[in-house]
Amino acid sequence: MAHSEHDLPPDLLRRVEEARRTGAWTSPRAQVVERLLSLSGEIAPAPAVAMGDLSRSGGDARAAALAVDSPEALVTRVFAEGELGLSAQRAEDGVGMVLRGRVWLRDGGHSQVLLVHGDHVLAMAVCESGGEFRFDELEVPGWELEVHVSSGRVLRIYGF
């Protein structure tokens, strides 16, 4: 006698049939999972952004990219707590981009710099005042750079 599913409740049968479309699943090695759990325990999640946190002194890398005939967009911004210098450059492979910059804070300390696409935080760096950050990522249309300073304010740069 073989297993038959004719008696499965319709809702469960539908779920099972949909689930089977994923094909065979493979589990990652236990050591890989353990390594991830250990690594992620050392990193804090990126801060959320409330609407009121957004600084009005944001910038736009798209405008900078249009201003000169160059694959590199340069953006500088002065804000209440400090200054930002950013270079956004399309990579030679045509699909990547390199973002490099520095954040100088008037009162010293550090800032968190986030590369964001929608609700994905693609990369994050903690920078001492004057220290450099660098992100090598795929170019995703609509990327944004957020600089979080200790006051809780956020400077946002809109990407190309």
Partner 1 sequence: MSTNSTALPPEPQLPESDADILSRCAIGDRTAWGVLVHRYKDLVYSTALRTGLDTADAEDVFQEVFLELHRSAARIRNPNALPRWLLVATRRLCYKTAVRRRRMLPDISEDLVDPSRLPEEEVIAAQSRVSVEEGLRQLDARCARLLGILFFSQEPPSYDEISETLGLARGSIGPIRIRCLDRLRKVIGDR
**Which positions touch partner 1 (CB under 8 A)?**
1-3, 8-9, 11-12, 14-16, 18-29, 32-33, 35-37, 39-41, 43-49, 93, 95-96, 114, 116, 118-122, 124, 137-138, 140
Smallest separation (angstroms) from partner 1 to the CB of 106: 27
Pick 9 or 69: Cβ nearer partner 1: 9
Angstrom distance (rounded) from CA 45 to CA 57 = 25
Smallest separation (angstroms) from partner 1 to the CB of 126: 12
Q: Is beta strand 154-158 parallel, antiparallel or unpaired with respect to 59-60?
A: parallel
Task: Write down the residue that tokens 């981009």 correspond to.
Answer: 97
Within its chain, how far is the Cα of 27 from the centroid? 26
Angstrom distance (rounded) from CA 14 to CA 103 = 53
Pick 3 or 56: Cβ nearer partner 1: 3
**Do 92 and 109 touch, CB atoms closer than 8 A?**
no
Q: Which amino acid, 58? A: G
Smallest separation (angstroms) from partner 1 to the CB of 47: 7
Pick 34 or 107: Cβ nearer partner 1: 34
Pick 2 or 51: Cβ nearer partner 1: 2
Pick 26 or 69: Cβ nearer partner 1: 26
Smallest separation (angstroms) from partner 1 to the CB of 44: 7
Q: And the tokens for 150?
A: 């200790």
**Do 92 and 84 touch, CB atoms closer than 8 A?**
no
Smallest separation (angstroms) from partner 1 to the CB of 54: 14
